[in-house]
């Protein structure tokens, strides 16, 4: 029993290190959680980071799709009939991220279909999908970000998150819309366009780096509406989980406000918050929920 326990400790530490290193905004929220939930959230993030890196990495589309298919096989092994570490040792070999996700799944009944949806969304990126309508874009946002919201709620509630899934989904869409507005230039340089073409035509914008202030503010207002709906989630969470949600969404909402205030600046560079401001938002969220 000692060896598996040590292996699991190493697996979670690996995921936590990935999260500290790569999750600039996510980390500020999850550090407000108790240890078991924080570690499970790190495991989810580490796997999501791996899947996202496949989509953004080097290699041709066929190679990326093959790598994503390999991650699907690992997810199938987690949910297989022969539960426990025997199956994982046989099917997965030494993969600390998958080991941590498998343990988090056992503890918090993670909806593994949400991770499948995340892979679906990254496959859309690999295939270079473009979005004619906002409804089409929402499907993508639910795949790549709403999925993380549903996984997070399962952890927050100890596996009883199904009743809150739609609100978590709405928050995921809001945060992904913010990402899209923040990363317009970077995405375009990488050959990706996410803003709906019907919106660009309606505002007389010929291409993604020639966007009007009116279009940016229109899309920002949409994101705010999704935040307003999704934030009803916090009323159903314990204080520390609610503080985690408020910290993460607080960072994104602050970025969204700055984009809307100065759209030209947002198109010129990637808007971000300084470390002190992220820490302040996290501390304020925790203090507010305790009060």
pLDDT of residue 233: 95
Average pLDDT over residues 90-100: 77
Q: Which of 112, 169, 164 lies closest to 138 in space, CA to CA?
A: 169
Q: Find the domain containing 233 and state its range.
A: 2-290
Q: Which of 22, 21, 119 lies closest to 68 in space, CA to CA?
A: 119
Counting DSSP H helices and E strands in the chain, the numbers are: 16, 0
Per-residue pLDDT at 274 exceeds 90: no
Question: In this predicted model, which residue has the larger pLDDT, 4 or 11?
Answer: 11
Residues 40-94 have pLDDT tens digits of 999 999 999 999 999 998 889 999 999 999 999 999 988 764 444 454 555 555 7
For residues 78 and 98, what is the distance between their CA atoms, to the nearest angstrom? Answer: 8
Within 8 A by CB and 6+ apart from 57, the residues are 64
For residues 85 and 73, what is the distance between their CA atoms, to the nearest angstrom? Answer: 16
Average pLDDT over residues 208-224: 91
Are 84 and 4 in contact by the 8 Å Cβ rule? The answer is: no
Q: Which of 124, 146, 143 lies closest to 193 in space, CA to CA?
A: 124
pLDDT of residue 19: 92
Average pLDDT over residues 161-182: 93
Question: In this predicted model, which residue has the larger pLDDT, 86 or 14?
Answer: 14
The continuous run of DSSP H or E covering 122 comes out as helix 112-126
For residues 208 and 189, what is the distance between their CA atoms, to the nearest angstrom? Answer: 10
Per-residue pLDDT at 291 exceeds 90: no
Q: How many residues does the chain have?
A: 291
pLDDT of residue 190: 83
Per-residue pLDDT at 3 exceeds 60: no
Are 186 and 270 in contact by the 8 Å Cβ rule? The answer is: yes
Q: Domain count of the chain? A: 1
Cα atoms in the 13 Å half-sphere on the side-chain side of 185:
11
Range with the poorest average pLDDT among 154-163, 213-222, 249-258: 154-163
Are 258 and 266 in contact by the 8 Å Cβ rule? The answer is: yes
Per-residue pLDDT at 218 exceeds 70: yes
Residues 19-47 have pLDDT tens digits of 988 876 777 788 889 999 999 999 999 99
Residues 118-162 have pLDDT tens digits of 999 999 999 999 999 999 999 999 999 999 999 999 999 987 777
The CATH number of whichever domain residue 88 belongs to comes to 1.10.600.10
User: Can you tell me whether residue 57 is helix, strand or coil?
Assistant: coil
pLDDT of residue 92: 52
């Amino acid at each position: 029993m000692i060896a598996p326990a040590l292996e699991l400790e190493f697996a979670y530490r690996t995921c936590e290190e990935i999260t500290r290193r790569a999750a600039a905004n996510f980390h500020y929220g999850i550090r407000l959680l108790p240890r078991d939930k924080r570690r499970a959230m790190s495991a989810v993030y580490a796997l999501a980071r791996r899947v996202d890196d496949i989509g953004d990495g080097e290699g041709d589309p066929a190679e990326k799709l093959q790598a994503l298919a390999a991650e699907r096989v690992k997810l199938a092994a987690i949910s297989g009939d022969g539960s426990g570490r025997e199956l994982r040792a046989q099917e997965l070999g030494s993969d600390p991220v998958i080991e941590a996700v498998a343990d988090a799944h056992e503890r918090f009944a993670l909806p593994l279909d949400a991770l499948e949806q995340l892979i679906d969304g990254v496959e859309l990126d690999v295939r270079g999908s473009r979005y004619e309508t906002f409804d089409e874009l929402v499907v993508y946002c639910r795949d790549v970000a709403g999925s993380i919201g549903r996984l997070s709620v399962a952890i927050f509630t100890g596996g009883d998150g199904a009743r809150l899934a739609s609100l978590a989904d709405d928050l995921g869409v809001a945060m992904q819309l913010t990402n899209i507005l923040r990363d317009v230039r970077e995405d375009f340089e990488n050959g990706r366009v996410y803003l709906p073409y019907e919106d660009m035509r309606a505002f007389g914008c010929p291409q993604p780096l020639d966007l009007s202030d009116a279009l940016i503010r229109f899309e920002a207002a949409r994101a705010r509406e999704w935040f307003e709906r999704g934030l009803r989630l916090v009323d159903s969470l314990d204080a520390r989980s609610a503080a985690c949600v408020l910290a993460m969404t607080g960072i994104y909402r602050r970025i969204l406000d700055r984009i809307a205030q100065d759209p030209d600046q947002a198109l010129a560079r990637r808007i971000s918050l300084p470390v002190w401001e992220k820490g302040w938002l996290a501390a304020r969220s925790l203090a507010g929920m305790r009060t």
